[in-house]
Amino acid sequence: MLELSSVCVFLLAALGLLLIPGPAVLYIVTRSVAHGRKAGLASVLGIELATLCHAAAAAFGLSVLLLASSMAFSLVKYLGAAYLVYLGIRTIFTRSATPTGNDVPAPSLSQMFRKGFLVNLLNPKTALFFYAFLPQFVNPARGSSILQILLLGVLFVLLATMTDSTYALVSSGVGRMITQRASFQRIQKYVTGGIYIFLGVAAAVSGSGKR
């Protein structure tokens, strides 16, 4: 199964990405600022359920690809590495957007949950991210790739739930002030972009399965 060293690197990389606000975090902050902490937490649950669905889809899809051709699986890994580098470069050179509190009257918590779920489920960038990110930590020689990817996906969702819930809990008070600071926006995009680029380069250099 997964090597401890790979899991540790994965957790550190995932935590680094999750701690820097991205589109999902900004969505959660917006809901929390506009409608309160419960609305933010309901949005978190919906988003993470959709994230788990994306991880499961990546696990089954990539496993089928691996069974069909190890060369095709390696090609997907290299394309994924290139995509991560692209995400990093685009993040660095894209102007940051700030959340606003000008929303319609608060819907019910169940509506918040469903909207968070659908927003993330129907986001093709989330699916592409998992297809690019998760295979970098999978070694087919160590057992079922589908179980490895599922485990990584579950770990990612657990981490995301903790970090996103923290943002939801604090953002109603200070989230808008923090995310709207120009200096914070400049720092966060460079850190996020740097992490993406590092992951992509490291994956390309490491090859397709050698440890």
Range with the largest mean pLDDT of 73-77, 88-92, 111-115: 111-115
More confident residue, 210 or 37: 37
33-50 burial code (b ≥16 CB/10 A, e <16): bbbebebbbbbbbbbbbb
pLDDT of residue 177: 59
In a domain, 31, yes or no: yes
Number of structural domains the chain divides into: 1
Alpha-carbon distance 54 to 109, whole Å? 23
- Residue 46's pLDDT is 95
Q: Which two tokens stand for residue 207?
A: 């090859």
- With a cut of 60, say whether residue 73 has pLDDT above it: yes
Q: Which two tokens stand for residue 193?
A: 């972009």
pLDDT above 50 (res 15) = yes
pLDDT for 54 equals 87
- Mean pLDDT throughout 26-44? 83
**pLDDT of 209 above 50:** no
Query: Can you tell me the distance from the alpha carbon of 145 to that of 95, in angstroms, rounded to the nearest whole number?
Result: 37
Indicate the pLDDT class of residue 163, thresholds 50, 70 and 90.
very high
Mean confidence (pLDDT) of the chain: 76
Higher pLDDT, 97 or 147: 147
Q: Is residue 105 part of a domain?
A: yes
The residue that leads in pLDDT, 103 or 171, is 171
**Angle, helix 145-170 to helix 23-35, in steps of 10 degrees:** 30
Per-residue pLDDT band for 207 (boundaries 50, 70, 90) equals: very low
Predicted confidence band at 185 (pLDDT cuts at 50, 70, 90)?
Answer: low
- CB contact burial 126-138 (16+ within 10 A = b; e otherwise): bbbbbbbbbbbbb
Please check the confidence at residue 208 and state whether its pLDDT lies above 50.
Answer: no
Residue 211 lies in a domain: no
Interval 49-72 mean pLDDT: 77
Does residue 114 belong to any structural domain of this protein?
yes
Whether 127 is covered by a domain: the verdict is yes
Per-residue confidence at 157, pLDDT binned at 50, 70, 90? very high
pTM for the whole structure: 0.68
Structural domain including 180 reads 4-133+141-206
Per-residue confidence at 69, pLDDT binned at 50, 70, 90? low
Query: What would the mean pLDDT of 73-78 be, rounded to a whole number?
Result: 70
